[in-house]
Amino acid sequence: MSTRRPSIASSRRAIARTATARRSAAVGGSGRTISTSRSTTRLAYAALLPTQDAAACTRFLEAARRWFAQLGIAVTGVMTDNAKAYTSHAVQAALAAHGIRHLRTKPYRPQTNGKAERFIQTALRRWAYKKPYRTSAHRNAALPDFLDCYNVERPHRSLGRVPPLLHFLMQREQRP
């Protein structure tokens, strides 16, 4: 087993790169991470999946939709890259079944999805490569703790130095 750290370029590809569900690449070889975030509140959801096929992406999108629904957030749009899995009939049918609009990023333009890219950078720095994990399983086990910290504890400058979940709850209370 190699202990060599991947380059920054390969690290960027190691975690999913989208705002509201984007294709993922291998994370250390033991699975794939797909992430999603709500652009206005920065709430983030991520999951480790064994593959990056249409069935796995469909399951992820459904799990993310349910997670956001538990918070009272209706998913009305999803932005992905143009990966084969996200352009598949299965994913398109799942999105259509829930009335979710599918937007795609421009090829080779991560700026199109800047908030998601920022989440990826934070995840790389604070979870995936924060410390040398003994195994990929140890790193994978740390994902839920990272997401809890990101959503509940970590203040975000763009949200007035409050965590995403608190920002979301404050917004919800202000609504008529």
Percent share of the chain, pLDDT over 70: 78
Q: Among the residues of 31-88, which ranges form H helices?
A: 54-70
Q: Tokens at residue 20, please?
A: 């509201």
Place of tokens 């140890």: 138
Instruction: Tell me the C-alpha distance between 129 and 145, whole Å.
Output: 14
Query: Can you tell me the mean pLDDT for 10-16?
Result: 33
Instruction: Tell me the C-alpha distance between 110 and 9, whole Å.
Output: 13
Q: What is the CA radius of gyration of the chain?
A: 16
Is residue 176 predicted with pLDDT exceeding 80?
Answer: no
Instruction: Tell me the C-alpha distance between 64 and 45, whole Å.
Output: 7
In which band, very low, low, confident or very high, does the pLDDT at 93 lie, cut at 50, 70 and 90? very high
In which band, very low, low, confident or very high, does the pLDDT at 32 lie, cut at 50, 70 and 90? low
Query: Can you tell me the mean pLDDT for 37-55?
Result: 84
pTM over 0.85: no
